[in-house]
């Protein structure tokens, strides 16, 4: 079984500052890793995903994440945030050898960007 822990429930940050949203996972098998974003009153949207290859993954809106197998982490980063980045961010995993896209989600981190 897999589990995902997002270490911060809320992250307040000022506009143009860097941000890191932390995600750790636990799994006995290989996994794929995802970050989804949920803007206010909208559905979840894929930010980026790690399947294989380079451990640094770049996504939409200037976000990137680094897969660290030894630390079982997949932290999300952005060097300079905007007000429009205010949203709920979810880290998720799926079993890479599985034949479904069933996702196991973390509890979410609310990013609050202040002017």
Point out which residues bind another protein (CB under 8 A): 4, 6, 32, 36, 41-46, 49, 51, 90, 92, 94-108
SS (H, E, C) 54-103: CCEEECHHHCEEEEECCCCEEEEEECCCCHHHCEEEEEEEEECCCCCCCC
Minimum CB distance to another protein, residue 85 (Å): 19
Minimum CB distance to another protein, residue 108 (Å): 6
CB count, 10 Å around CB of 80? 11
Q: Toward another protein, which CB reaches closer, 70 or 100?
A: 100
Q: Is 10 exposed, middle or buried (0-12, 13-18, 19+ CB in 10 A)?
A: exposed
Q: Toward another protein, which CB reaches closer, 81 or 90?
A: 90
Minimum CB distance to another protein, residue 33 (Å): 11
Q: Toward another protein, which CB reaches closer, 49 or 77?
A: 49
CB count, 10 Å around CB of 89? 24
Minimum CB distance to another protein, residue 17 (Å): 26
Q: Toward another protein, which CB reaches closer, 4 or 21?
A: 4
């Amino acid at each position: 079984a897999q589990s995902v822990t997002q270490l911060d429930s809320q992250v307040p940050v000022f506009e143009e500052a860097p941000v890191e949203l932390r995600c750790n996972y636990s799994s006995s098998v290989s996994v794929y890793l995802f970050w989804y974003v949920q803007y206010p009153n909208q559905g979840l949207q894929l930010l980026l995903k790690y399947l294989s290859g380079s451990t640094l993954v770049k996504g939409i809106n200037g976000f990137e994440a680094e897969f660290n197998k030894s630390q079982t982490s997949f932290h999300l980063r952005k060097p300079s945030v905007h007000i429009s980045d205010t949203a709920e961010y979810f880290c998720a995993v799926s079993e890479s050898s599985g034949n479904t896209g069933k996702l196991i989600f973390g509890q979410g981190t609310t990013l609050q960007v202040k002017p």
